[in-house]
Structure 1
Amino acid sequence: MLVKPDMLVHPPAHGRIPNKNAWMATVLKGGPNNVNGILDFIMHHKATNQAIGKIEIYQPLLKDGSGEVGYFLHPEFWGKGLMKEAMQGFLEHVFEGKEATVIKADVDPRNAASMCLLESVGFVETGREERTLLVGEEWVDSVYLQLSKQAFEARKTR
């Protein structure tokens, strides 16, 4: 997936991985994949049972109960509401237990689709910072967002 040019418009730090196909095979394998402190939720297409994306949360959560989410989806499936559906299920799962109190996200401000996704499931902007990540030769800015368990639960009752 990351070898497609569309996926590199807003690349993660993995943009510098020499063998993206090998990396993708590792992160999209079935079964528990809590490797390097990341708990992965793999998205499978119902009709083909092919992996089409993932949502991840860095583990363990911090002492304050916060964790950071990351995600990506194959461009063929963009704009169909699949990531929103998956994100809602993911949030339900992580807030189900007692440990997670806040989920945070760090988004490139140029990635309007990602910003809209997070806002649509209840994330709110908490700050902005310039030049936070060097991707290849380019410095990327960050928009920080978060969703508290309390706000998530309140949205469910509306």
Structure 2
Amino acid sequence: MTELHTPRLRLRPARQGDLAALHAVLSDARAMRCWSTPPHDNLEITQAWLRGMISAPPETSHDFIVEHQGQVIGKAGFYQLPEIGFILHPDYWGRGLAREALEAVIASAFANYPIPKIIADVDPRNTGSLAVLARLGFTETGRAEKTFLLGDIWCDSVYLALERPLTSSSPSGLGGEAR
């Protein structure tokens, strides 16, 4: 897998040394409020999650660790194409970093895979993620109630899609540079 670079970010494949930094994200209740699992309460859970990210087959996965100023701050990409997912540590929210990372991974996915569209499944309470995806051109395709159980709470889903652009540039024209 290639690395992607944006003005402020380095997106790279996951490696075992990312465990502590990813655990800081995946154990944070604020970050995990609308994720598909509860916060990770021990390193073993994060280790299994990281092992899955590292071993995911490249023909169906295009997932990246997100670094900002040399610090691992989250992940963005496709654990299972064509569904996009992203999570950043809350200390980095509100700076446009999620959008910057997603622009790069979306452009890379369309350039490297014959997918007609990218999809997303978002908890409707996650207004920040919904806003980021809307700014990237995603449109709502449907909604469903009680689609997954998070701890003991049923969560709903908003389904979104982004069609492959007619040109090879990213949705905003600001894709990351592959290296």
**Residue 26 and residue 44 in structure 1: after superposition, are their counterparts in 2 closer, same or farther (change >3 A)?**
farther
Alpha-carbon displacement from aligned partner over 1:70-119 (angstroms, at most 9, x marks no partner): 11000000000001000000111001135122100000001100100100
Task: Determine the structure 1 residue equivalent to 2:63.
Answer: 40
Report the RMSD for the aligned CA atoms in angstroms: 2.6
| Aligned partner letter, 2:91 | E
Normalising by structure 2, we get a TM-score of 0.70
Matched, 1:84 2:92: no
| Aligned partner letter, 1:44 | E
Distance 2:49 2:65 in 1: 8
- Flag the structure with more relative contact order, 1 or 2, with Cα contacts below 8 A and sequence separation at least 6: 2
Shift of 1:26: 6.1
Shift of 1:34: 4.1
**Residue 103 and residue 88 in structure 1: after superposition, are their counterparts in 2 closer, same or farther (change >3 A)?**
same
Would the aligned equivalents of 2:40 and 2:46 in 1 still touch at CA under 8 Å?
no
Distance 1:93 1:71 in 2: 15
State the identity as a percent: 37
Alpha-carbon displacement from aligned partner over 1:98-157 (angstroms, at most 9, x marks no partner): 512210000000110010010010100000000000111110000000001136868557
Matched, 1:112 2:112: no
Would the aligned equivalents of 2:28 and 2:39 in 1 still touch at CA under 8 Å?
no
Shift of 1:24: 3.8
Task: Determine the structure 2 residue equivalent to 1:55.
Answer: 76
**Residue 39 and residue 156 in structure 1: after superposition, are their counterparts in 2 closer, same or farther (change >3 A)?**
closer
**Residue 43 and residue 35 in structure 1: after superposition, are their counterparts in 2 closer, same or farther (change >3 A)?**
same
* Structure 2 unaligned spans of 5+: 1-24, 174-179
One of 26, 29, 43 as aligned partner of 1:2: 26
- Per the alignment, in what secondary structure is the counterpart of residue 90 of structure 1? helix
Moved over 6 A (4+): none
Task: Determine the structure 2 residue equivalent to 1:75.
Answer: 90
Distance 2:138 2:167 in 1: 9
Distance 1:82 1:152 in 2: 24
| Aligned partner letter, 1:58 | Y
